[in-house]
Amino acid sequence: MSVTGHRQQEPLLMSRCDVTGAVTDSDFDTLLAQPNRVSSPIRRLRCELRAGHPGRHAAFVLAAAHGDRWWWMRWNTAGGEVADIPVCAVSDEDNDDCLLPQHHEGEHSFQLSAGDH
């Protein structure tokens, strides 16, 4: 039995946390030392997770190893650390990949509003 007048529901996008953070000098040196960097490390960050998420904030800082290794900073008021973590890479039905670190808190990036960064 088919339903006529099926209405495509716009997905409701969650807003991002957008708490800011900064990579420390020593962490920045760690990032600079990574071989085959694709870009320069990002020093000033905005959390990319869902607004109101539990746990630490997280933001992408660097792609290295020709783009095979992604580095993130995770932080809270007590401080932060950088680490290379595989990307979540869950996709939605439009093949938008989630660009957050694996095992991240909250919604996938394609479920979040784009923001302006």
Tell me how far CA of residue 29 lies from CA of 24, 25, 34, 82, in angstroms: 9, 6, 9, 11
Size of the site for Zn ion (CB under 5 A): 10
**Minimum gap (Å) between residue 1 Cβ and Zn ion:** 35
d(CA 105, CA 32): 27
Contact 48, 18 (CB under 8 A): no
Among the residues of 1-117, which ranges form H helices?
Answer: 25-32
**Minimum gap (Å) between residue 73 Cβ and Zn ion:** 11
Among 23, 31, 42, 49, binds Zn ion (CB under 5 A): 49
- Choose one: 25-33, 35-43, 49-57, 61-69; the region binding Zn ion (CB under 5 A): 49-57
Among 17, 31, 63, 82, binds Zn ion (CB under 5 A): 17
d(CA 80, CA 15): 23
**Minimum gap (Å) between residue 4 Cβ and Zn ion:** 35
Q: Which residues contact 93 (CB under 8 A, 6 or more apart)?
A: none
Among 23, 45, 57, 82, binds Zn ion (CB under 5 A): 57
**Which residue ranges make up the site for Zn ion (CB under 5 A)?**
17, 19, 47, 49, 57, 88, 90, 98, 100, 108
